[in-house]
Structure 1
Amino acid sequence: MTVVPGLVSVTFRRLGVAEIVALVAGAGLRAVEWGGDVHVPSPPVAREVALRCADAGLEIAAYGSYYRGGPGFADVLATAVALGAPRIRVWAGRHGSAAEPDRAAVVADLARAAAQAAGEGVEVCLEYHANTLTDTLESTMELLRAVPAVRSYWQPPVGDRPATALAAVQALRPVTAHVFSWDDAGTRLPLAAGESLWRPVLGALGELPGTRYALLEFVRDDDPAAFAEDAATLLGWLRPEWIDGDQG
């Protein structure tokens, strides 16, 4: 049972890789999910980023792609392999579960992607997000049953309540939670404002077998100082035995 704290790199789209590595290491976090649209767009860049992370003692949690189906997955996979990422985050199509005109096509594409990735020792994980087939817990669970090779991420939808959030995490058993705090209008708040939601959720992650990730995202004003504050809050909520992987 391990919960690895880290950062989603696209939290800081205007910062370079070296700056992000320094921020994460300086905050005492342990992992980065590297975004494919800004920071790691190609295999040559991926190899450089992998070396920087190794030098800083940081784990690569995932390759955060914006793949939504169709052509292009081979390039995504090649970059993830060059990065040394154990998993690729993808989006489940381009429409919400109530609007998707061809759910079967999205399922088939995800199955193909997962099979290709497995051949390289990489797993495919689903962003838990509006306007995709993971926009509700029920639709996500159906998708996971249809494509058993993929795993789920989780993040709190705007307006989510603690009991609902905890129920979703317990059902999905996500490999990664993207950690942030918003009010009901989507305004970013200090992470500490979400304590009533995040403490139970992190507790549920900490009780799951294997390694899970708690990755900060959406800090106030994209401000490194706000990130440092949120990182300290997150570390304060995680039990030492979760971070260190103490099975007891």
Structure 2
Amino acid sequence: MFKIGLCSVTFRNLPVEEVIRAAKEAEIQGIEWGGDIHVPPGNLEQAETVAALTEDAGMEVTSYGSYYRLGETEDASFETILQTAVKLKAPSIRVWAGRKGSNEVTETDWRTIVEDARRIGDLSKERDIQINLEYHGRTLTDTVQSATRLMKEINHENISLYWQPALFETVEERKNSINQIKPWLTHVHVFHWKIIDGSRIVYSFSEGTNDWKGYLAELEKDDGVRYLMIEFVKGDRVEQFWDDVGVLKGLMNE
């Protein structure tokens, strides 16, 4: 079963209340709140406020979009992030698998990341919160082979994996990656954009419908809920978000 969500980072320039208003107007079911602007780690009062506002609007908090990187301690500690997620009433926390791509890391880096993943998996399980690794470039989930190895080595019941289209793969390669990581796959970041000359160029979602028809066919889940969370829209415009949601709903109903 699919539900539609929004990553709040899509509208970093908007206050929480306007993000919620945009989401409610689109008649979606949930929001992944980012830890960079809207719910900073350690601001427990803000987390409680955002949780209440989201619930009052009839939506779920799908996850806490943290920027914690496995194996690193320079930024906010995971313990602080976990406390914030509890106050946000987030069922899961999104984290990143390090800061280097799979072709850059040493075996020592691998062990450090795996050990830290197990550590935070244990901590979050005590609070009934799941960990989701972002499927992302320049981390150990930058290829399906690396992501699969990582999940097998972590081997933790409380750690799962998001999916999103890898930027420099073909549509067929992306569809194949979905099938390979399905044992660990939970939610999905939805977008239609490319990196051109180092810059992110975002297109209307309607321009990516043919690609996403194929992805959704592979992403169908027999039981439980899989959130399709829209991340970034053309021009950072709320109206474009509404249009993109309409297109996504159309694909889901085909």
TM-score category by the smaller chain? over 0.9
Gap regions ≥5 residues in structure 1: 241-248
Q: 1:124 aligns with which of 121, 125, 131?
A: 131
Q: C-alpha displacement at 1:201, in angstroms?
A: 1.4
**Is 1:60 aligned to residue 49 of structure 2?**
no
Gap regions ≥5 residues in structure 2: none
**Is 1:160 aligned to residue 169 of structure 2?**
yes
What is the TM-score of this pair, normalised by structure 1?
0.92
Q: Work out whether residues 3 and 205 of structure 1, in 8 Å CA contact, stay in contact via their aligned partners in 2.
A: no
Higher share in strand = 2
Paired position in structure 1 for 2:201 = 187
Q: C-alpha displacement at 1:159, in angstroms?
A: 3.5
**What letter is aligned with 1:123?**
Q
Q: C-alpha displacement at 1:184, in angstroms?
A: 6.4
What is the TM-score of this pair, normalised by structure 2?
0.90
**What letter is aligned with 2:151?**
L
Q: C-alpha displacement at 1:165, in angstroms?
A: 1.5
**Equivalents in 1 of 2:7, 2:37: separation in Å?**
12
Tell me the number of residue pairs that the alignment of Structure 1 and Structure 2 aligns. Answer: 239
Paired position in structure 1 for 2:226 = 212
Paired position in structure 1 for 2:28 = 29
Structure 1 runs of 4+ with >4 Å offset: none
- 1:88-137 C-alpha deviation (Å, 9 max, x unpaired): 00000111111123111011111101110001000111011111000100
Q: 2:86 aligns with which of 81, 92, 117?
A: 81
Q: Which has the higher contact order (CA 8 A, sep 6+)?
A: 1
Q: Which moved more, 1:24-33 or 1:176-185?
A: 176-185
Q: C-alpha displacement at 1:47, in angstroms?
A: 0.6
Question: 2:68 aligns to what SS in structure 1?
Answer: coil
**Equivalents in 2 of 1:183, 1:10: separation in Å?**
17
Paired position in structure 1 for 2:15 = 16
Q: Percent identity?
A: 36
RMSD, aligned CA? 1.4
**Equivalents in 2 of 1:114, 1:82: separation in Å?**
18
Paired position in structure 2 for 1:4 = 3
**Is 1:108 aligned to residue 122 of structure 2?**
no
- 1:195-219 C-alpha deviation (Å, 9 max, x unpaired): 1221121222223432111000121
Paired position in structure 1 for 2:49 = 48
Q: C-alpha displacement at 1:158, in angstroms?
A: 1.7
**What letter is aligned with 1:162?**
V
**Equivalents in 2 of 1:104, 1:8: separation in Å?**
30
**What letter is aligned with 1:131?**
R
**Equivalents in 2 of 1:148, 1:116: separation in Å?**
15
